[in-house]
Amino acid sequence: MKLLVCAMETSSNIHLKELKKYLHDDVELLGVFDKELGDPLYDLTHLAIMGFVDAIKKLRFFFRLRDELVELANDCDKVLLMDSSGFNLPLAKKLKQRYPNKEIIYYILPQAWAWKKKRVQKLEKYCTKLCSIIPFENEMYKDKEKITYVGHPLLDEISAYKTTLENTNKIIYMPGSRKTEIVNHMDVFRQLSREIKNKEHILIIPSKFDDTYIKKTYGDISNFTISNDAHKTLKEAEFGFICSGTATLEASIIGTPFVMSYVAKKLDYYIGRKFVKLPFIGLANIFFYKMGKEAIHKEFFQEDVNFENLINEYKNMNRNDYLTNSQILRDYLQFGSSQNVANIIQN
């Protein structure tokens, strides 16, 4: 089977790597994905975008890429779209128009429950099967046979959790994977690493980044130990400073106490806040909000991402309550999704 894949995000490719373990040996991946998984059209480092402004600058390239994928789909048996709704939804529309009988599977659905709810109608119209990783997500969809809660992929990828809290003298820093995220966080992360004494400060840097990119983007990292293994380091760390994204849910599932931060371009932040109607951004906090519970961790944004706020949470967070909530979160998500999605693709 030839499977057209469009997985642009770093997190999507982590999920894709786990999914690939359950696909038959004769399944060949074509399209956009991490080069570790095959022979993609483009290296992912050229595709990463952050926010509305960055997306507009690269419009011409993405229109060309969409057309290339539509042509490539002619030789493929099925299509798998993962996350990145700004690109994948228009792609799904083009694919449906060109190949009305081709099976289009969407895994890691756009967060229509947070904003842009009209995407639900588009997903139901253009896609054959919808693989949900959010327990409450299917409430928004009319076609209940089309959407399936498959479980959350992080429960496939995370095999070890904290059952007790220990002072390991290791602090983890995760400034994100996009250039703007990294640049916006490194100054305050450097200050924290200098002021929190007698600890090993571990900075997570994606393995796909080369030395030149790291030097230019991260700046001075001499005070940090560098790691590419986020899950292992999260399990070992006693506390984390983490940029908003999948990593905050990873930390919440593992049970590593942390504080979340996010600094975006002002226009992006304004647009996001105007349209997102939920009181939280962190996924774990959103899950707890839907369960009628208090937030599991603190969130700081824009000017509030400063040394005083972050160090205060490091010193005063109730870590025992957090550990209890981490177990509640794992029970809520139930199970991993990789084998379930593989079965959907191969049936």
pLDDT digits (tens, 9 = 90+) for 302-326: 999 999 999 999 999 999 999 999 9
Task: For residues 43 and 35, give the distance between their C-alpha atoms in angstroms, rounded to a whole number.
Answer: 7
Check residue 270 and give its pLDDT.
63
Do 64 and 132 belong to one domain?
yes
Do 311 and 233 belong to one domain?
yes
Check residue 114 and give its pLDDT.
63
Check residue 266 and give its pLDDT.
75
Do 128 and 194 belong to one domain?
no
What is the CATH number for 212?
A: 3.40.50.2000
Check residue 316 and give its pLDDT.
97
Q: Which of 17-31, 35-49, 110-124, 143-157 has the lowest mean pLDDT?
A: 35-49
Q: Is residue 341 situated within a structural domain?
A: no
Determine if the pTM surpasses 0.85: no
Do 13 and 82 belong to one domain?
yes
Q: Is residue 344 situated within a structural domain?
A: no
* pLDDT tops 90 at residue 82: yes
* pLDDT tops 80 at residue 152: yes
Domain that holds residue 110: 2-149
Q: Is residue 164 situated within a structural domain?
A: no
Do 67 and 115 belong to one domain?
yes
pLDDT digits (tens, 9 = 90+) for 184-223: 999 999 999 999 999 999 999 998 899 999 999 999 999 9
Do 217 and 305 belong to one domain?
yes
Q: Is residue 302 situated within a structural domain?
A: yes
Do 128 and 74 belong to one domain?
yes
Q: Which of 46-60, 87-101, 164-178, 179-193 has the lowest mean pLDDT?
A: 46-60
What is the CATH number for 130?
A: 3.40.50
Q: Is residue 137 situated within a structural domain?
A: yes
